[in-house]
A and B are shown apart, each in its own frame.
Chain A
Amino acid sequence: MSELTISRRGLLAGSALLLASTALPTIGFAQTPKKGGRLIVAADSEPRNLNPAIVASNGVFFISSKIVETLAEASFDGKDGLEPRLALSWEGTADGLSVTFKLRDGVKWHDGKPFTSADVAFSALQIWKPLQNLGRTVFKDLEAVDTPDELTAVFKFAKPTPFQLIRNALPALSSVVPKHLYEVGKIEENPANNAPVGTGPFKFAEYKAGQYYRLARNDAYWGKDEPYLDEIVYQVLPDRTSAAAALEAEEIQLAAFSAVPLADLDRISKVPGLKVITKGYEGLTYQLVVEINHRRKELADLKVRQAIAHAIDKDFVVKTIFLGYAATATGPVPKNDPQFYTADVPTYAFDVAKANALLDEAGYKRADDGKRFALKLLPAPYFNETKQFGDYLRQALSAIGIDAEIVNNDSAAHIKAVYTDHAFDLAVGPPVFRGDPAISTTILVQSGIPDGVPFSNQGGYKNADLDALITKASETLDTSARTELYKEFQKKVAADLPLINVAEWSFISVARDTVRNVANNPRWAVSNWADTYLES
């Protein structure tokens, strides 16, 4: 009987122990992640094709990067800014003609079949090179992929290809899809494009149009104990203003990609239980760019382009339009890029008087109504900020006597007007810098690109010097020589202004305090979330 009596001391000791045990995980820095739970995330678009090997874009990655994995992922502290995923190591030969990947052992596709080098070879040759929007340029000289054994893939290039470029391309361009599902029928029409099958920590479970995507835990994932979450649900909230309300009402736990409008961040950062996170997008820098149609004779004049550059108050753009969540740009490579950026380029200070003088010099005097000439301005409709910058640019141009007429279009019509019909004089575009200028940046100024390729030089700009430099850099194997060439490239672009780089911005996540391991790599929102967990 005596054993059952509860003494005061015993009770105290026992409850203290209990208290301590619950308190411990929050005291320690390296806490053990909690398993289970459902993470509900806001999604602002519903991509139809979820195959990241074909459509390498952030909208697709946001969902499918949890299902389909790449060979390597970006990392804050890994070597060359990378950490292994499906590949354990990668090595390029000195002649730039081959790259060898050692693959992870014991990885299984969601349908139970083993993952092998044949899947990598198939994805690279049949999808990345011929079909992928970005892979078409990076892997254009890929000739063959040898598979000496099940865990080795050797990429063979017809022409020397810089290993640095391949390395930088791995996080975004190397999504591996299962060969056994894609080898029959047309790849573009494969049902797995809409219900992807991969090796990732989560399996595609369900999609209800207009409502949600649901991903379920992959119990056979290769990562030890990972993933921690049972489920990820992407709640479709196309209206940006509703994401903030949904977070406050605890209907969702995370809103990435600036789903909460910038103007609301100040208010929402004060809401208890919510945190505003600016990290985790370092590898996804968007650039605010004024695209110029050089077919217009006024705009073909360098003085006019310089005048426009001088008329834009970049600080105002960063402070007022981006509310400080951006940086001013100096050239085509963003300041936060660790490898290529150089500040040593011609710059254009905000100076209306100088801009006016340049236009006078160029021979475009103000008419009696104070106007020099009229332009059509097409702001891209994808972001609030690009639209607002369009409004600002119209005002900035009117201060130097250029009468800009804004033409608003929806996304499809905008892409057609600018990149196919060239029915613009100036356009505001948000190209993405993807860690290497050769992936999606040089294409913005290079000549000879066929009509209709979106986010490329469709302004009719042609500079033989710059073209030669781009070609040379794409064939230079030595990393430091290659980097120097791209610094030269930045100088030339800033001097000749084929386009005007105004600002660089990334995104903001807002999450509940209970969501842990958020923003722990430079592409967090589009990485696999295997280590993300919910603290109850």
Chain B
Amino acid sequence: MFDIERWQEIFDTIRKNKLRTFLTGLSVASGIFILVILLGFGQGMQNGIAKEFENDASNRIAVWTQVTTKAYKGLNPGRSIQMRNGNLNHIETRFSDQLEDRSGMFRVRNALVNYKKESVGYSVQGIHGGYQFIENQFISQGRYINYEDHRNVSKVAVISNTIKKEIFKDGTDPLGEYLDISGLKFKIVGVYGDMAGEREEERIFIPMSTAQRVFNGADRVNNLYFTLKPVENFEQAVAESMKFSKDMKSYLQEAHTVSPDDESAINVFNTLEEVKRFFNLITGIKMFFWFVGICTIIAGVVGVSNIMLIVVKERTREIGVRKALGAKPWSIVGMILHEAIFVTAISGFAGLIVSMGLLEIFGPYIEVDYILNPTVNFNVALTTVFVLIFAGAVAGFFPAWRAANIQVIDALRDE
């Protein structure tokens, strides 16, 4: 490998056959190019989907209710199910060692929001403090709704950056200002933001207890939200999360006398389950991309192999002479193999560099649905390099073997 002579031999041959070597190299280079681009897009899809789920905590579980569709224990279908504070408290107690954050939600219907005579068209929702983490919201100013607010039934509100931009155009500090919600004054204590951007920033939050008491909610709850404590690995997290969803659903069905077969009365949305489904999909797609890429490389390798066979055929006499002069079979194998690996490696690297450069330059501009910043990481690049060298060795082996078995007498026989 570090034999200068042999390198010279190879450069000599390549120099003699520029076009042939170039065309061979091109097939390998395009193979690698396609593989890397495909893998880049596989990663891009993963990024894109990860981005879609970034909006919420990825282990978010949401519960909402609708009407029953099945008769159960003498009750007619078509009953609407209403969750109560008691349900949330029960779940909290029963699953306390699993739960990380929890929050109920009470939607204030037809709330009229005004700030200094100006009408503000946003919905108002009563929540618990844990909602911030469940929705992956961050605090830009002040604080979020907390347990004290809830306990004291405080008339406080948290607005979003978007809302702040709209109603405090003049740059007034919103903290300490009062919003008028359906005729009641709520003090603004904080400004939140959401990773997902503006479409998730169109709500005003007030404490759950305040929402229920002030807006005739009694102990009614519209939605429940939970996140679970993180566990070691993804598989385990999915398993625990699914079990929790199932147990909680059974409890709610029992508590509200709903048939266990009734799929629509009580709905549980488990983000993790969706994430898992998407990741499985991505894994499948990535495998497919690898498969296609490898097939392309195989086509390239077959090309190199073919060319090397022709090279061996063309150089039969030369190989015969070399053997007559004392070249050992292994040195002939080495020579052909070396050339094959060199051609594949160089052209493969060219393909790798071009494709990675392309991804590096244009990748960040690619942002369509479910595809974001396609890149290949270092490990993938490293893997392709090994694939290349292996491919070169395979491509060169059969021609080299044939070359080594050339009989000197046959090779030197005058035609």
Asked if A and B are interacting partners, one says no
Q: Residues of B at under 8 Å CB distance from A?
A: none
Q: Residues of A at under 8 Å CB distance from B?
A: none
